[in-house]
A = this chain, B = another copy of it.
Amino acid sequence: MSVDGFIADPDDSLGGADGNRLHHWGQEADGETFRTDGVAGQLMAEYNATGAVVAGRRTAEITDHWGGSHHGMPIFVPTHRPPGPTVADQPLVTYVQDGIESAIAQAKAAAGDRDVLVHGAYTGQRALEAGVLDEIQIHQIPILLGRGRRLFDVLPREIELEIVRVIDTPEATHLRYRVKR
C-alpha cells in the first residue's frame, strides 16, 4: 500500500506502473525474481508457508488460479456465480457460493495448523466486515501514488486493531495488525 492508501493503478491492472512500484521491495533488480534474502526473503517465506488461500474471483481468474494451486496449497474463491470452465481441471481450486464466512472456514480447515492467506482488497474487506479476518499485514511503501484503487474503502463500523509487528526497512514499513473482537 502507498502512504496514501492505494494498492493498484486506477484501472486495477496487475501489471500497471503503480502496481509494480509497490512490489519493488520484494523483487530482485530484474523486477521479476522474488528476493530470498533479508527482510523481504523472510516475508516471502512466511507468505509461501500459508496453508490455504482465499482469493477474490477477479484475481483468481486473472492468474488462472496461479496455475491450479498457490504454491501447492488449495485456493478458495468466494463468489455469487458458478465457476468458469478451467476449474474442472484444477482439483485444488474450490468456488464457494455460500458466503465469505464459509470460504474462510473451508480454507482454515484445509490449512490445518497453518495460516490462511486472504488475497485481494475486496475479499479482505468482506472478511473484515463478516468478522472472520484475524490479522492484517500491510507493506507500506514510501510513495504517494495520488490516485488508484484503495486498500480500504468505506467500512460499516470502526474496527480496533492491535499492532503485532513493525519491521522498518528503507524500502517499506511492514505492519502487522491483529483484529480485535
**Which residues of A pack against B, CB within 8 Å?**
3-5, 18, 21, 128, 136, 138, 140, 142-147, 150-152, 154-163, 166, 168, 170, 173, 175, 177
- Chain B residue numbers with a CB within 8 Å of A143 are 158-161
7 A-B contacts (beta carbon < 8 Å): A4-B151, A4-B155, A128-B144, A142-B161, A143-B159, A147-B154, A163-B173
Q: Which residues of B contact A5 (CB under 8 A)?
A: 4-5, 150, 152
| Nearest residue, chain B, Cβ from A151 | B4
Q: A21-B158, A142-B160, A166-B168 are in contact. List 18 more A-B contacts (CB 8 A).
A: A3-B175, A4-B151, A128-B144, A142-B161, A142-B177, A143-B158, A143-B160, A144-B152, A144-B159, A146-B154, A146-B155, A146-B156, A146-B157, A146-B158, A147-B155, A162-B170, A163-B170, A163-B173
B161 x A144 contact (CB < 8 A):
yes
Determine whether the beta carbon of B161 is less than 8 Å from that of A168. no
Provide the bound-state CA to CA distance between A5 and B156, in Å: 15
Q: Smallest Cβ distance from A26 to chain B, in angstroms?
A: 16
Taking the nearest CB of chain B, how far is it from the CB of A122, in angstroms?
A: 14
Residues of B with C-beta under 8 A to A162 = 142, 170
Bound complex: CA A117 to CA B136 (Å)? 32
B158–A18 CB distance below 8 A? yes
Q: From A142, which residue of chain B is reached at the shortest CB distance?
A: B161
Interchain nearest-CB distance for A19 vs B (Å): 13
What residues of chain B lie closer than 8 Å to A163, measured between beta carbons? 142, 168, 170, 173
